[in-house]
Amino acid sequence: MTRSEENYLKAIFHLGNGEAGSISTNAIAEQMDTKPSSVTDMAKKLAEKGLVHYKKYQGISLTDTGTRTALSIIRKHRLWEVFLVKKLDFTWDEVHEVAEQLEHIKSEKLIDKIDALLDFPKYDPHGDPIPTKDGKFMERDKQLLSDMPIHAQGVCVGVKDSSAPFLKFLDKNKIALGNTIKILDKEDFDQSLQILMEGKELRISHQIASNLYVKKND
Amino acid sequence: MTRSEENYLKAIFHLGNGEAGSISTNAIAEQMDTKPSSVTDMAKKLAEKGLVHYKKYQGISLTDTGTRTALSIIRKHRLWEVFLVKKLDFTWDEVHEVAEQLEHIKSEKLIDKIDALLDFPKYDPHGDPIPTKDGKFMERDKQLLSDMPIHAQGVCVGVKDSSAPFLKFLDKNKIALGNTIKILDKEDFDQSLQILMEGKELRISHQIASNLYVKKND
DNA sequence: ATTAAAATTTAGACAAATCTAAAAATAGGT
DNA sequence: ACCTATTTTTAGATTTGTCTAAATTTTAAT
Ligand SMILES: [Mn+2]
Ligand SMILES: [Mn+2]
Ligand SMILES: [Mn+2]
Ligand SMILES: [Mn+2]
């Protein structure tokens, strides 16, 4: 497994949102910031190795082996992100770049020890689930804040956009995962929300609300 | 800096034992487990980048920049080794392979935080000194056990051979860094030693004695 | 000073991962 | 069904790091 192969598998997995299904050459090229012709070349190589299904012009999908491999890289990425935040005081907007490198370190023992050191975390700093060693996924029951009805209450559990600018914006506005949240009012005009977060009132644009995941109280 | 370039700089540094001086193409090739022709190619590239001095047939030596770069990689390697042993319970014979990968992770913040987490260690698990951020080296006053006179006393502080088989052998014989040691007798015939280690008598072959560093008591 | 051995470099090739430009296949609209 | 725009693939080139085999330079011995 080369680093590039691993990155392709991860990209294909993410584009399929975890579900199996054919992904287009162009979509992969865009996600990987490369050219479609490069994707075609790699598709052939990965198909050769039994990691993807590929038929000319028919798109690309992960085999079972490919899915397992992708999940193991995502597991490493997210565990390293937790490590960086919990043990080294990185902020949640700094970890992704470093984790992109650390996820390619080859040592099963290393990642198992990191997992244990962190007390087997279930979610990464952005609220994304950490696959288990055998590739099991524990997706949380969550929904976008923008999809919730007025007066609904819950807890912030994740972000959809995990780009540094968005995360820094959330920090600046004291919006953090784990915070309680209640929708006080929805503005029809621009779909902005008046919310109560940890006891404080706050106005939130639709753009923000559509990138924040909330676990609704029962 | 590519991974390969970094590995060449490290190899050149190690072959020079820290001192500046011209290293032969063949020596580098052997150390890197590659061919002399590949070394020549890389020598040209590194010279181009100002990291080594190189004149055809005249051998290769590090520039100041090259030395600084090599030291920063060695610093990372050794800090990661300490991390693996102290925080993740790796044994000293397991860490090198993983550190070979981790040393290439690019993040100044990461290695500084690891350094702080470990409380700024001065030596790695094999007794080798860890360069400071600005490339300062703190070589310990030590000598090979085989070079010490009879009745000399001291403390084990390092290994010359840090291959897994040797380290495992030391473990098996309860020889660890930090142990007190006294030479009771030297056998002229095979230069083996009768020693007292942490209160226990032990016989040690010349091969072992010539790979163990001891800090002599004053 | 010659000469043979050893070290080093050059020349040419290859694999991996990428690119550009051109060709081929597909999909959609009429 | 036909044409066109889009998508995808192919062909050929490039970069990095490596290799083998041949040529060159250095070294060290006579
Ligand atoms: Mn990430
Ligand atoms: Mn994440
Ligand atoms: Mn090491
Ligand atoms: Mn070491």
B105 near A102, Cβ under 8 Å? yes
Q: Which of residues 102-161 of B touch A (CB under 8 A)?
A: 102, 105-107, 109-110, 113-114, 117
Span B185-213, average pLDDT: 96
Chain A nearest-CA distance from B83, in A, is: 11
Distance (Å, whole) CA B3 – CA B76: 13
Report pLDDT for A198: 96
Minimum CA–CA partner of A88 in chain B: B113
pLDDT tens by residue, A97-132: 999 999 999 999 999 999 999 999 999 999 999 999
Distance between Cα B163 and ligand 4 center (Å)? 10
For residue A128, give how far its alpha carbon lies from the nearest alpha carbon of chain B (Å).
Answer: 22
Separation of alpha carbons A12 and A53, rounded Å: 11
The structure's pTM equals 0.95
Whether the per-residue pLDDT at A20 is higher than 90: the answer is no
Which long-range contacts does B80-83 make (Cβ < 8 Å, 24+ apart)? B80/B114, B81/B124, B81/B125, B81/B126, B82/B118, B82/B121, B82/B124, B82/B125, B82/B130, B83/B114, B83/B117, B83/B118
Structure confidence at residue A164 (pLDDT): 97
Residues 16-35 of A with CB under 7 A from strand D: 24-27
The predicted model gives B77-93 an average pLDDT of: 98
Instruction: Report the relative pairing of strands A212-216 and B52-54 from DSSP bridges.
Output: unpaired
Residue of A nearest to B102 (CA): A105
Question: What is the model's pLDDT at position B19?
Answer: 84
Taking the C-alpha atoms of residue B141 and residue A129, their distance in angstroms, rounded to an integer, is 50
Nearest to B101 among A90, A106, A114 (CB): A106
Ligand nearest to the CA of B97: 3
Structure-block tokens of residue A2: 């080369």
Average pLDDT, integer, range B13-20: 90
Residues of A in contact with B90 (CB under 8 A): 109, 113
User: DSSP assignment, residue B156?
Assistant: E
Radius of gyration of chain A (CA): 19
Mean model confidence pLDDT for chain A: 96
Mean pLDDT of chain B: 96
Q: In sequence order, which ranges of chain B are alpha helices (DSSP H)? A: 3-15, 25-32, 36-48, 64-88, 95-102, 108-117, 164-172, 206-209
Does position B48 have pLDDT exceeding 90, yes or no? yes
Alpha helices for B93-156 (secondary structure H): 95-102, 108-117
Q: B148, B157 in Cβ contact below 8 A? A: no
B163-187 pLDDT tens trace:
999 999 999 999 999 999 999 999 9
pLDDT in tens, A149-208: 999 999 999 999 999 999 999 999 999 999 999 999 999 999 999 999 999 999 999 999
What domains can be seen in chain B, in order of their start residue?
Answer: 3-62 (1.10.10.10), 143-216 (2.30.30.90)
Q: Which helix (H) or strand (E) holds A37?
A: helix A36-48
Residue A212: pLDDT above 90? yes
Work out the angle between the directed axes of helices A95-102 and A64-88 (0-180°, nearest 10).
130
B91/A contact by beta carbon, under 8 A: no
* Confidence tier at B162 by pLDDT (50, 70, 90): very high
Phi, psi of A147 (to 5 degrees): -95, 0
Phi, psi values for residue B131, rounded to 5°: -60, 145
Using alpha carbons only, what angle is made at residue B35 by residues B30 and B40, rounded to the nearest 5 degrees? 105
Identify the H or E element spanning A168. helix A164-172
CB-based burial of residue B33 (10 Å sphere; 0-12 exposed, 13-18 middle, 19+ buried)? exposed
- Chain B CB contacts of A106 under 8 Å are 101
Pick the residue of A3, A104, A107 with the most B CBs within 10 A to test the interface with B by mutation: A107
| Total residue count of chain B as it appears in this document | 218
Tell which residue, B169, B172, B202, B171, has the closest CA to residue B184.
Answer: B202
CB within 8 Å: B90 and A105:
no
Q: Which two tokens mark A168?
A: 């820094």
pLDDT digit string (tens) for A36-75?
A: 999 999 999 999 999 999 999 999 999 999 999 999 999 9
Which residues are CB-neighbours of A132 under 8 A, at least 6 positions away?
A75, A138
Each residue of B134-157: pLDDT tens digit?
999 888 999 999 999 999 999 999
What tokens appear for A97 in the block?
């770049």
What is the full DSSP assignment across B179-193?
-EEEEEEE-TTT--E
pLDDT of amino acid B218: 82
A41 touches strand D (CB under 7 A): yes
d(CA B62, CA B204): 38
